[in-house]
Structure 1
């Protein structure tokens, strides 16, 4: 049987930790293989004074180790342990030293165990770094939330409390320019006739330069303001120094005070009031979180502008007349003109109970019933309301949506005629931004749209508008439909082009009911005119 002492020494050789035994004088009596293999110069160090060697090292960790070992050897401590770094040129390493006393034949000895704890230490360091990052991010987020809260409150107050659109633009730009990291903000408006976009109101902090040239829609597509306006979404340049065309729009040296820029459309539904452009003093200032805040602010600004415009439309008498030429075979009146080989003109629209539009159209020749398509080329039922030798009144139930879409922009169709594949459209709108939005709608829908004229007047005929408003509010839907159908179908001309029975059939009601609706509508109309 192997003696117990030899068995212990053999087992000690197999341990994956470095172990040494020293006597009460600090001399090394025994080491294991891990101890001897550790370090660049393998040595068992037996006979060396470990304590004296550690005491001479000019190192805080060595001094702590010496004091701990001496305290255990002197019986002042039952044990001692400490963690310390022991980095090499190739890697960082950490160890834990444990000192425990024992006796052999009455002599006080201690064991020194050095256990590598690099993996645990790296994990602790990573956890501390993660905790620091989380703490820094939380502090940064708290700062951002505080800044954003103040910015949102100030911009909202400025937008909602303003009395004019120009005041909204001025106050919003001032709020943004005073908020870090922003240094410049401007709001641009568009000129529908010249296709130009230019700053209307702006504010800056310090000597930040402003673009002094108008931007051309369709040419300056790389400018974020133009991109935002055309695409109806935010456009960002995170570093002006890397922007190829930056020198075209910003003066030399602008990069010293501004580094990034974003532009956001001021849109309310299908209406676009302009573009908000914001500059920051640092690169990469407009991350997703920042853009989300600015997009929300842009929506608030556009909503406030819309509210002011609606209030202005209710209290002032302004109208914009826009005439365009549309060349596109998909336009429903153009397609119908080609099918019937006739000049087509729009007379008006009525709506049934579920809101489906029924358009009344005039053809400049008599059209045989068998020549009328059951469905128009653009979709929708086609019927003949009235007919003479030289003209035909058609009614179309169409899902084309142009008339409805224009009405949603506040447009009233004054003329829509088609001759030789070109449609001439004249609409009246309540203001310039509605005209811009309606024109954009037409450009998006059709192949070729040419602006023929744009005219704004501040004195439309108030009597007609007020009478129309009061009359429409006093009539039921059926009464108004009966009146409009009769007028569009030339029922009031003599000789009549259409009978009351035919109009009643087109409305899906009896002849007597139709005449009752029509007489009531006529009486209310005369009340408005004569009372």
Structure 2
């Protein structure tokens, strides 16, 4: 049987650690296989070598620390010593943990030296520290961004909300944006519905014009992000202007220029687009998802402020915008009626039936019999003949969600609406330019061809009859108002009458006596408003 010392020596040979034993003088007495294999080119066991002298010769920071620790343990000043140190080769990086521990063999004081490779752990620690540093850097960057964004949002919101005019909103907003890094230029463009142009109205930046050209043409300059933003109603981003094919048409993008990325945002409130906000930055990729979210929120704030000013102006002025349009689309209901009855059609007015369906009154320029309007409309329009003679015919059409109701939602008052030979001519008054732009855009999206013939803005005096009409409509029930409107539009008050009370009652699906009761009540309330 092997002796205890032989057994220990054999076990030491198999350990996957580099181990050696030295005496009080530092002489190496014993090494194991891992020690010898550490230098495969020599395969030396270093027995008899002065280890302390070897460490002293290394003369670097790690060697000096190791020497101090080993000597302290050898001399009995320390019970043990441990340190981590690098031992890199040209081919790879390595780290080791050295442990120095004393023990006795008879009356001799010996010291064991163990070198354990910890490369995997150190690499993991370094990776963890690098990740932690990246997180800290990202946090510092995020804190900087949040601080910048908070100031930007506050400044732009204050500028938009406190301004007294739309021009002031545009001017102050552009100035605040251009002062914020990395933005170098901001401009706001407005559209002209008559010539289909998008033109910068206000801008701010480092002595830079917003466009190389003076304006953009809707329908032509479609690659420009401002035009696309206005047309599509969605933000448009170009992260690298140098890689954008059409950049040189609108911006100086040479190597010495400072315009590198751009975002264009529609200024939209509800279904009204007031214009486009364009911001350019002096670095590529400036408009990431976080930046876009902030600027989209600011665009909404700006549009809301513009809407508030428009509403206030509507309440304090009597501006009326009149637009004249030509519409060519076979689906337009007045065109369909004109084609179906083979007559020129003109609009007379609008009311609603009992279930809220809009009813439009039209006049045809010839006499039409009941069979001529029985069912000419495959898309479901319900047409009723109210009255007629050789001078013309009054028709009632259930129009649903169509052009008349759409114009009403924009505050429009139809002054003239005629259709003949596939073409409709429309004249409508709207409360302001915003409503006119909105109504025009809505019609252009809905119908095949819409041409703006005339745009006219006037200041009209307040008319007392509008107040009377408002009070009258609020005092009448829906049925009373419908009875009065039907009677008026169907020429019931003409003499001789074109239509009887019984026919009008039938059109409302009520009895003749009930119709006359509604009509008399409505007439009395009308007279009350006029004479009391």
TM-score band by shorter chain is over 0.9
Q: List aligned pairs for 1:114-263, cutoff 5 A.
A: 114-204=115-205, 206-211=206-211, 212-251=213-252, 256-263=257-264
Q: Does the C-alpha gap of structure 1 residues 97 and 525 become closer, same or farther in structure 2, counting only changes over 3 Å?
A: same
SS of the equivalent of 2:199 reads strand
Once residues 5 and 208 of structure 2 are traced to their aligned partners in structure 1, the CA distance between those partners, rounded to angstroms, is 85
**Which segment is superposed worse, 427-436 or 186-195?**
427-436
- Offset, 1:393: 2.6
Question: Equivalent residue for 2:112?
Answer: 111
Question: Equivalent residue for 1:36?
Answer: 36
**Which segment is superposed worse, 17-26 or 270-279?**
17-26
Question: Equivalent residue for 1:305?
Answer: 306
Q: Does the C-alpha gap of structure 1 residues 144 and 430 become closer, same or farther in structure 2, counting only changes over 3 Å?
A: same
Matched-pair contact (CA < 8 Å) for 1:375–1:381: no
Q: Does the C-alpha gap of structure 1 residues 358 and 149 become closer, same or farther in structure 2, counting only changes over 3 Å?
A: same
- Cα-to-partner distance string for 1:304-329 (whole Å, 9 max, x where unaligned): 11111111112211111222222222
- Offset, 1:165: 1.0
**Which segment is superposed worse, 347-356 or 109-118?**
347-356
- Alignment size in residue pairs: 530
Q: List aligned pairs for 1:320-399, cutoff 5 A.
A: 320-352=321-353, 355-374=356-375, 376-389=377-390, 391-399=392-400
TM-score (norm 2): 0.92
- Offset, 1:489: 1.9
1:86 aligns with 2:87: yes
Matched-pair contact (CA < 8 Å) for 2:185–2:204: yes
Once residues 431 and 188 of structure 2 are traced to their aligned partners in structure 1, the CA distance between those partners, rounded to angstroms, is 22
- Offset, 1:192: 0.9
Q: Does the C-alpha gap of structure 1 residues 87 and 425 become closer, same or farther in structure 2, counting only changes over 3 Å?
A: farther
- Offset, 1:467: 4.0
**Which segment is superposed worse, 451-460 or 152-161?**
451-460
Once residues 4 and 404 of structure 2 are traced to their aligned partners in structure 1, the CA distance between those partners, rounded to angstroms, is 105
What stretches of structure 1 of length at least 5 have no aligned partner? none
Q: Does the C-alpha gap of structure 1 residues 245 and 30 become closer, same or farther in structure 2, counting only changes over 3 Å?
A: same
**Which segment is superposed worse, 145-154 or 84-93?**
84-93
- Cα-to-partner distance string for 1:139-185 (whole Å, 9 max, x where unaligned): 22222222222222222222222211111111211221222222221
C-alpha RMSD of matched pairs (Å)? 2.4
SS of the equivalent of 1:222 reads coil
- Offset, 1:527: 4.5
Matched-pair contact (CA < 8 Å) for 2:350–2:361: yes
SS of the equivalent of 2:435 reads helix
Question: Equivalent residue for 1:25?
Answer: 25
1:422 aligns with 2:423: yes
Question: Equivalent residue for 1:439?
Answer: 440
Once residues 148 and 262 of structure 2 are traced to their aligned partners in structure 1, the CA distance between those partners, rounded to angstroms, is 19
What stretches of structure 2 of length at least 5 have no aligned partner? none
SS of the equivalent of 2:181 reads coil
SS of the equivalent of 2:147 reads helix
Once residues 382 and 87 of structure 1 are traced to their aligned partners in structure 2, the CA distance between those partners, rounded to angstroms, is 94
Matched-pair contact (CA < 8 Å) for 2:236–2:263: yes
Matched-pair contact (CA < 8 Å) for 2:419–2:425: yes
